[in-house]
Amino acid sequence: MRAVVVHGASDVRVDELAVSEPGPGEVLVAVEWGGICGSDVSYYGHAASGTAVLKHPLILGHEIAGRVASVGADVTGDLVGQAVAVHPSTPIGTLPARLAGRNNLNTQVRYLGSAAFDPHTDGGFAESVVVRADQLRPLPPGVSTRHGALAEPLAVAMHAVSREPVAGREVFVNGAGPIGCLVVAALKLAGAAFVTAADVADEPLDMAQALGADRVLNLRAGDELPADAELVFEASGVPAALGGVLRATARGGTLVQVGNLPGAATPAVLGDLVTREITWIGSYRFADEITDAVRALGSGLDLEPLISATYDLADAPAALARAAQGGGGKVMLRIGDV
């Protein structure tokens, strides 16, 4: 089978690898689509993502969908041929009682396409991948595997939105990259009354508007951040933006940090966190919101406006280079013959 393998910084190849067979409780998924995430881009550009450093070649990809090709022993049900999205995590061990149900906070979780542990956990940008049967999320009728591959990042956004009640509220989202746009969509699904999105370019703002933003602000064009926003989602992950975003947050307001901040020391203006008594909440990956994401897709949520470019598997290095340029939207890999 062909797979997208990162060997080092700026060294991504489409390698020919052996096909694995599913063991007890496992299934073989013929992968059809994959979405390129910021972590894939980071491994491509720097051979690292946050504190995870590449030590060996790694198959990239954790936003995937396809069809079940075969099943191992002890797997029940008529799964072969079923279109599925894949939950990419494998929690190890048990959580303390205070974290019950929050498997995303398990320090030993293994994630598809991650170099966080050695040996690394290969990902799903391959023509086939073996996963546990309980990682499958069957796609409802009418939901393509192209859109099913977006269930994972949508789950990240839905988890962030679940961190604070949003129904009936006015909300500000800073950053209209793929996650920011999906936060907009998740907010509207959750009943937010009015959503404002800000970015520094028109293309991502157009996507945010297509996914439900009621107002958009182009900060580079001279638009100003809102004043006294009671609930804010910071989705850019840019430390230099934090000062302005905290100032935009109302006194006593809440800021949900969903944009992934650097793991190294970096300057940021944080004084308003104290003087405005802002509640700053982190949001990391998701627990089981991928199930809710698949359900939302089945109920008619259209994420096609989020897709900015599509590449074939053979052109994966070019796809990663395109994603690294930014500019908004999700770059998709057509992995199977679809």
Instruction: Delimit the domains of the chain by residue range.
Output: 2-153+286-334, 164-282
Is the pLDDT at 327 greater than 90? The verdict is: no
Res 197: pLDDT = 98
| pLDDT tens-digit readout, 121-169 | 999 999 999 999 999 999 999 999 999 999 999 999 999 999 999 999 9
Mean of per-residue pLDDT scores for the chain: 96
Q: pTM of this prediction?
A: 0.96
Class of domain 2-153+286-334: alpha beta
Do 2-153+286-334 and 164-282 come out as alike in CATH topology? no
Res 141: pLDDT = 96
Edge to edge, the sheet with strand 11-16 lists 11-16, 2-8, 58-59
Give the CA dihedral 251, 180, 103, 334, nearest 10 degrees. Answer: 180
Is the pLDDT at 328 greater than 90? The verdict is: no
What is the fold of 164-282?
A: Rossmann fold (3.40.50)
Q: pLDDT category, 207, cuts 50, 70, 90?
A: very high
Q: How far apart are the first and last CA of the chain?
A: 16
Average pLDDT over residues 282-292: 96
| CA angle (221 as vertex; 219, 225 as ends), nearest 5 | 25
Res 326: pLDDT = 86
The single-letter code of the amino acid at 138 is: P
Is the pLDDT at 262 greater than 90? The verdict is: no
Res 314: pLDDT = 98
CB 4 within 8 A of CB 55: no
Res 280: pLDDT = 98
Is the pLDDT at 308 greater than 90? The verdict is: yes
Res 50: pLDDT = 85
